[in-house]
A and B are shown apart, each in its own frame.
Chain A
Amino acid sequence: MPELAVTTQQLRKVYGTTPAVASLDLAVPTGEIFGFLGPNGAGKSTCVKMLLGLVFPTGGSGTLLGAPLGDHRIKARIGFLPEQFRFHEWFTAREFLDFHGQLYGMSGKQRKQRIADVLALVNLERAAAQQLRTFSKGMLQRIGIAQAVLHDPELVFLDEPTSALDPIGRRLVRDIIRQLKSEKKTVFLNSHLLSEVEAVCDRVAIIQRGEVVRDGTLDELLAARRLLDVQAQGMSEDILERVKARWELAAHEGNRLTLALTDPEDVPQIVSMLVTAGAAVHHVALRHESLEDLFVRTVDDTGA
């Protein structure tokens, strides 16, 4: 098995004269859960479509499980849940999975066993004989996940897998993703729900205008900066200017401010300075940067 499940080198897609993906370089290690993030229009879906052969790249190259993009032999080892999918609604859930099992080239016996397994996995056993047109959005998303993992793939692409799900459904998907990781599968997760990504991903890449602007393991990225939330009365412009002169002011609203610190040892010094300057400090809390903070900062810095 290759060390990298997904790679791209200067992958590019241009529609007319408009670049949807400018030049994408990615490296997703095998066996990890990879979060693919970016604001609307950043080129995430186009990138996923290029990887899966739905859209043809204008330039660049890439590999999936060690094989070049477009190699059909690799498709049997990949699963995909599309974002804006619509399946044939006249199928029952079981017929739908059987159809996709046939497309994967699974035998009748394999299909029978795996269909039962994945229906149980997504908690849809009781709906097996129901037509998909009677399914709720959440049930459709879950049956979509079932078809993506039906053939026990090594690499699974999930495009917004929790967007239509209630909290229980989201937890179910999180558990499925964690189970895939425990089975040494690679998951490529494209999601706007940053809390979901933060909860399950090992590594993320944030893209902007079709280029990776930040990537790394979540631990690396989120440990680099600490945030200090301060709530204090009587913070004058003068005090704020003195704070900004020494530390990075990440946010300020009324009597609340958030400072970005590179050294957590600065906290006593900050509190002391505020008190000395006449501010009444009510609350101070040091925390790691959240993925949402990192995402917003990255997108702001790169000019969304």
Chain B
Amino acid sequence: MLPIFVIAKITLQEGVRKKAVLGGVLLAAAFVTLYGLGMYFVMRDLNVPERFVNPDVFRDAVSGQLLAAALNVAGMLTALVAIFTSAGAIATEVEQNTLHAIIPKPLMRWQVLVGKCCGLGAMSAAFAIATTVALLMLTWLFAGFFAWSALQSALLLGLLGVLLSCVTVCASTLLSTLTAGVTVIMLYGLAMVGGMVEQLGVLLDNQVMQNIGIIASLLLPSDALWRMAAQRLNVQELAILAGGPFEGFSQPSLFMLAWALLYITFAVLLGVRVFARKDL
């Protein structure tokens, strides 16, 4: 088996056995369960106002609202899982000397780093996709609302997980575990606030605010990916507050998707470059 796959497999196995990941999965399961219960009771007890000629439109609006809000939470959970599991990918192994037994083996350093990115990215993506698909299934089950395009939301959130995993692994080659985690969380928060500013900019027709948001998305396209995912839910026209108070007014272009893919590539290449020269 190629060294990259050996490292990726072991990274995945390690993630599965770690209590932190288990905790994240349990919390996500609790969140999905709560969402399902909430959706069930809302749909059961919902009184459609008489002015709605077609009650399904009202029901779809309510369930879409709940789904979009839940997707927002799924995005944040994905971010936390991706960042916390990846922050120590290199830094902790350097601090604990675990790499001393691995680097002298017949494999290249870049294979170790790429293997870790693959393993952690796959784990974060699986977490995001599983959580999103669970939300979609529950919405379909209890509210009868489903759009095939919503599956793209799951994939986009999966990509968000891969992006944050790779960026955090890259940070982990440069910084200590704690500093790498905090740095990427702050970057993620910055992108999120930037996204809000951009939405407000669209609402107020303020170009400066819109540009601030675009710059924030260029710094880390995590919020752009989330907004693209929310858009694919196909509930925007139904749920004005779909993804929070500032979502839904402007949607990122496909350029941002390409930028996210390029960003992942740059992050991995930078990580490879730094790790290749690092004294262990």
Which chain A residues have a beta carbon within 8 Å of chain B's beta carbons? 49, 52-56, 72-73, 75-76, 78, 80, 82, 84-88, 90, 99-100, 102-105, 144, 147
Contact = CB atoms under 8 A, between A and B. Distances in A.
B104 A75 contact: yes
A102 B9 CA distance: 11
A44 to B, nearest CB: 14
Nearest to B1: A102
Nearest to B97: A84
A53 B107 contact: no
B49 interface: no
A100 B103 CA distance: 11
A87 B102 CA distance: 10
19 contacts: A49-B280, A52-B103, A53-B103, A54-B99, A54-B103, A54-B280, A56-B279, A72-B106, A75-B107, A80-B100, A80-B104, A82-B97, A85-B100, A85-B101, A88-B98, A90-B14, A90-B17, A144-B101, A147-B101
Nearest to B103: A54
Interface in B84-107: 96-107
Contacts of B101: 80, 82, 85, 87, 100, 144, 147
Contact of B98 (A55, A87, A102, A147): A87
Q: Interface size class for chain B? A: 20 to 34
Interface of B: 1, 3, 6, 10, 14, 17-18, 96-108, 277, 279-280
A52 B280 CA distance: 11
Contacts of B102: 103
Contacts of A90: 14, 17-18
Contacts of B98: 85-88
Contacts of B279: 49, 54-56
Contact of B108 (A72, A76, A84): A72
A103 B105 contact: yes
Contact of A99 (B10, B106, B108): B10
A45 to B, nearest CB: 10
B6 A76 contact: no
A53 B277 CA distance: 10
B6 A103 contact: yes
A52 B97 contact: no
B97 A103 contact: no
A52 B102 CA distance: 11
A44 B99 CA distance: 19
